[in-house]
Amino acid sequence: MPPEIFIDLVQCKLQLQEEGKVIKAYPVAVGAKQTPSPVGVYSITNKAHWGGAFGTRWMQLSVPWGTYGIHGTNRPASIGQQVSHGCIRMHNRDVEEVYEQVEVGTQVRIIGSFTYRLSVNGSRGNLVQLIQQALQEQGVLSRGM
């Protein structure tokens, strides 16, 4: 069974897990209060070798409202802080290690708190997802919307 990724936004920690057991844990940087990381269950949809501010590796997440990923950084001092625009930043050596162990389709579970903001016409992100999920559970909104 391939490993899964578990990310705790409060602790700024990413774990590789197999069958619920931690294989290895890594410190990460996560989204800032104004630009939070998405909370939920996603999967890796793309893997690439990038550079510059995105470090040496990129793993895109299946977040439906924007482009978010797990990637390296050219700012290693940011690791352990809530400073990104929503992506998960890792030390380059760490993201290279994770990159080699996961495949496209790997499940990524992200937990933690995020800032609730007023939902207005044109809103996107976690708040909209939570509202839609609650409305679907109450039978007010169909899944096709």
Q: Which residues are catalytic?
A: 71, 87
- In this structure, the number of other CB atoms found within 10 A of the CB of residue 120 comes to 6
**Contacts of residue 93, Cβ cutoff 8 Å, sequence gap at least 6:** none
Structure tokens at 112: 């933690």
Q: Which of 81, 102, 78, 86 is nearest to 24 (CA)?
A: 102
